[in-house]
Amino acid sequence: MVLILLKLKVNGYITTQMRKVMNYYFSVVDYIPATTLRGAILNEYYREKGKIDESFYISPAYPMKTAPSHYFSPATERKGKEFRERKGVLLEKDEEIAKGKEIKDVLALDFKKKPKIGTLITFKNEDRGENVYESKKSESVILMHVAVDKYSGASHKGMLFAYEYKYFEELWALASDSSEVIDVVKRVRIGRSKNRVSKYVEIEKVKEVSIDEPKGLSYCLSPCIPSLLGKEFFKAKWIIGDTSTYSGWFTNDHFSGQKPVFNTLKEGSLVYVEKVDENEKIMASGLNFMFKIGDLKSLLDKVGL
């Protein structure tokens, strides 16, 4: 699978995926979700070209040297910030599953290690045949915003809102290589409103990256879903992961709106893929960015800048 590696330069505070609690909007992730990023890019593309490329897809954007942890890159302690992954562990486990080893034996870990699937971890160093990571948490700031009554021109009662903004420097993402979108769009606005924080995110096309197609034990860089509304995207023998909730927006040449909400496999989940069927069609929704990798560091090496 050939994809385009992108570098996003933020160097400031933006909003990403948010959850509303009364008049407070909290950021719930420390990266830019694929649906948010794709929507911002296609919005700018529409401004430039007056059309939408519905086949364009892009992964979530993660901080440099950072990706979601999986079951076999567990934390060394329950509340610890250090994560360790044996080099080549996913290829090793792939062979064990292929040979019919009991799943309880495949999943066996040191009793001190605690899997935290989907936690953002940053590569730190190598130590005695293991890749060492540390958990990644973005700095945040909460700003207050007041809604103005359109009739009186004054602040409106009960219209004081608090928004949490996340600080990012540079991030990486993978996009489809068959679209002109990334050749046209050089910068986008990310966030709920350009009037709250006027921040452009610069997008740089770096290079082509070749990553192995999902086969056998594969890693989910984005949320994954085997099937939806009767359509099967891949068949899995084993799933080693956790669940999350998907919600996003669709955009075409005529209108945009909210997509239905449904459960997915969380980023960092592992699936033992037996068959893949038209998976790229769902990737435009920010889902099923699945790759066969030896370990997480091998993926980070490919997208290293």
Q: What is the pLDDT of residue 93?
A: 96
Of 199 and 176, the one with more pLDDT: 176
Mean of pLDDT values over 194-205: 74
Q: What is the pLDDT of residue 234?
A: 92
The yes-or-no verdict on residue 176 having pLDDT over 90 is yes
Give pLDDT tens digits for 261-277. Answer: 788 999 999 999 999 98
The yes-or-no verdict on residue 291 having pLDDT over 90 is yes
Q: How confident is the model at residue 195 (pLDDT cuts 50, 70, 90)?
A: very low
Of 69 and 78, the one with more pLDDT: 69
Mean of pLDDT values over 214-228: 94
Give pLDDT tens digits for 135-157. Answer: 998 887 777 666 665 655 555 55
The yes-or-no verdict on residue 16 having pLDDT over 90 is no
Cβ atoms 45, 188 nearer than 8 A:
no
User: Domain residue spans in the chain?
Assistant: 2-65+138-302
Q: What is the pLDDT of residue 155?
A: 55
Which residues on neighbouring strands pair with residue 27, listed in sequence order? Answer: 18
Instruction: Report CA-CA distances (Å) from 150 to 68, 147, 153, 240.
Output: 44, 9, 6, 52
CATH topology of domain 2-65+138-302: Alpha-Beta Plaits (3.30.70)
Give pLDDT tens digits for 101-132. Answer: 998 899 999 888 899 999 999 999 999 999 99
Give pLDDT tens digits for 31-57. Answer: 999 988 998 999 999 999 999 898 899
Long-range CB contact pairs, 91-98, < 8 A, 24+: 91/217, 91/294, 91/295, 93/217, 94/216, 94/217, 94/272, 94/292, 97/216, 97/217, 97/237, 97/238, 97/272, 98/216
The yes-or-no verdict on residue 71 having pLDDT over 90 is yes
* pTM, 2 dp: 0.87
